[in-house]
Chain A
Amino acid sequence: DVKVTQSSRYLVKRTGEKVFLECVQDMDHENMFWYRQDPGLGLRLIYFSYDVKMKEKGDIPEGYSVSREKKERFSLILESASTNQTSMYLCASSLRDGGRDEQYFGPGTRLTVT
């Protein structure tokens, strides 16, 4: 079974703090993704990575950065958290096979910025 784990289920941070969200997958997947989920907006892609040290911006990268130093780990960084970054954050991974493979999701991190 593919397993994608995220470091926290719930997180509360103050405005201006630097926030790290960690994601680890155990299936040797090349692709990893970070989404945020907001009611009525579905999932929006923040960043993705198709290999170690490789990253590309998604649809809403502003205010976020990422790091992928090892194949199994993909970190999302909020450089200076703001209240409009309060959201559910979902990590996912997939094989790099032309997009045929489904994405496997972690349980999510609900982040509240006060």
Chain B
Amino acid sequence: AQSVAQPEDQVNVAEGNPLTVKCTYSVSGNPYLFWYVQYPNRGLQFLLKYITGDNLVKGSYGFEAEFNKSQTSFHLKKPSALVSDSALYFCAVRTHPSSNTGKLIFGQGTTLQVKP
């Protein structure tokens, strides 16, 4: 069965420190992987995606993610956290490689808290 796991419900980091939000996946075939962010009382906003090519993907607001096929992971990273990065982060993977519908499976979400 295809799945996405975010092993941490919450990540706490001090402003200016590097941050990592973890994501692992289980999917048949080559995965398409996505990260979204949700600020309070808002919809989800797209951050970045891995489709193919370079394993290090750069996205919005200074975030990046590294695709690691051997570890089936797609961790979200930022070199220097800002208080304004505090939000709920979701990892997602496209289901069934041959599907044309773009259906996604989402992880349960990780709350990032950046303290001044």
**Which residue of chain B is the closest to A94 with respect to CB atoms?**
B102
Checking A31, A44, A58, A106 against B43 with a beta-carbon cut-off of 8 angstroms, the contacting residue is: A106
Q: Give the interface size bracket for A toward B.
A: 20 to 34
Contact A48 B103 (CB under 8 A): yes
Which of B41, B94, B103: most chain A Cβ within 10 A? B103
Contact A42 B106 (CB under 8 A): yes
Closest CB-CB distance, B90 to chain A, in whole Å?
A: 6
**Which residue of chain B is the closest to A56 with respect to CB atoms?**
B101
* Residues of chain B at interface, number, CB under 8 A: 25
Which of the segments B11-19, B44-52, B72-80 contacts the partner chain?
Answer: B44-52
**Bound complex: CA A56 to CA B102 (Å):** 12
> Which residues of the partner chain B approach A35 to less than 8 Å between Cβ atoms?
106
Contact A99 B32 (CB under 8 A): yes
**Which residue of chain A is the closest to B108 with respect to CB atoms?**
A42
> Which residues of the partner chain A approach B32 to less than 8 Å between Cβ atoms?
99-100
Closest CB-CB distance, A6 to chain B, in whole Å?
A: 8
Closest CB-CB distance, A57 to chain B, in whole Å?
A: 11
> Does B82 lie at the interface of the complex (its beta carbon under 8 Å from any beta carbon of A)?
no
**Bound complex: CA A109 to CA B103 (Å):** 21
Contact surface of A with B, Cβ cutoff 8 Å: 4, 31, 33, 35, 40-45, 48, 50, 56, 58, 90, 92, 94-108
The 5 closest A-B pairs by CB, nearest first: A105-B43, A99-B94, A42-B108, A43-B106, A99-B102
